Amino acid sequence: MAGKRLSPKQLQGRAGEQAALAYLQRHGLTLVEANFSCAGGEIDLIMREGATLVFVEVRERASASHGGAAASIGPHKTRRIIHAAQTFLQRYDELPACRIDVVAIDGGRLDWLQDAIEV
């Protein structure tokens, strides 16, 4: 059975996620899960940095005009990210330390914004 074909935009998004993953791994984080989704939300990357669980939203824009990639995360998207993180955390009996980061890619420039979304 052949897999579903991805649109050019989806392929670009996956490439951005792969670039973010490689960058974070070079900085010592390890991958827990990629593309976690649940009813009402999704997380691009779930990483571990020491004892801390790091939920990562990857946003990519062709340029930083119009506010750039990080500014494209509005209140609705923020709620969806938080909901997905809360859903993922339900699998733990004891909650680990965690944070939500953003990797913003603007025209090829990658910025890692740690603890970018407060819960």
96 membership: H or E segment, kind and range: none
Rounded CA-CA distance 74/76 in Å is 6
Predicted confidence at residue 6, as pLDDT, reads 74
pLDDT confidence tier of residue 35, bands split at 50, 70 and 90 = very high
- Integer angstrom CA distances of residue 98 from 18, 47, 48: 22, 10, 9
Do the beta carbons of residue 43 and residue 34 sit within 8 Å?
no
Reply yes or no on domain 15-117 having CATH 3.40.1350.10.
yes
Which has the closest alpha carbon to 103: 37, 33, 38, 47?
47
CA atoms within 13 A on the CB side of 38: 13
59-98 per-position pLDDT tens digit:
988 766 667 888 889 999 999 999 999 999 999 999 999 9
Do the beta carbons of residue 82 and residue 119 sit within 8 Å?
yes
pLDDT confidence tier of residue 49, bands split at 50, 70 and 90 = very high
Among 2-6, 34-38, 46-50, whose mean pLDDT is lowest? 2-6
Predicted confidence at residue 1, as pLDDT, reads 47
Rounded CA-CA distance 99/111 in Å is 16
| Confidence check: pLDDT of 51 > 50 | yes
Predicted confidence at residue 66, as pLDDT, reads 66
Q: So where are the chain's domains?
A: 15-117
